[in-house]
Amino acid sequence: SLQSMREAKVLTDLVLVAGDQRIECHRVILASFSPYIRRLVHSSPKKSLLEMNIQDIDFEILSILLDFVYAKECTITADNAERIVDALDVFQIESTRKPSILRAMGIKEGDGLAVLRLSRNH
């Protein structure tokens, strides 16, 4: 699977840095998810391993997003839901896609209603 390839660092060509921690991943996978990453990758020199410093997203949230992008699985809690919505903004995910992404992440209409409202207002 793509997730196991990422975890084993097979053919990874992008390193995301959040604080002092690093996550290796694949440009094409993240570029398909995020217009922000797509633009950064497009404007960067074609190196074998590209490193990007991700501002405004802590490592925990970045890891959760990558788990979702690669495996369509992640852990949402009351403590991280709002930060996940904020991270979707940093990655410039269109507001029309946010509610479906949040539902796919496992936020149910009842317990995630405030987060869904927040995502629609950004």
**pLDDT tens digits for range 72-118:** 888 888 788 888 888 988 888 766 577 777 777 776 545 444 444 44
**pTM for the model:** 0.78
114 vs 49: CA distance, rounded Å: 39
CATH number at residue 9: 3.30.710.10
The dihedrals phi and psi of 78, each to the nearest 5 degrees, come to -60, -30
Domain ranges, residue 27? 2-121
Number of independent structural domains in the chain: 1
**pLDDT tens digits for range 32-76:** 989 888 888 888 877 767 888 988 899 999 999 999 899 888 888
Work out the number of other CB atoms within 10 angstroms of the CB of residue 66: 20
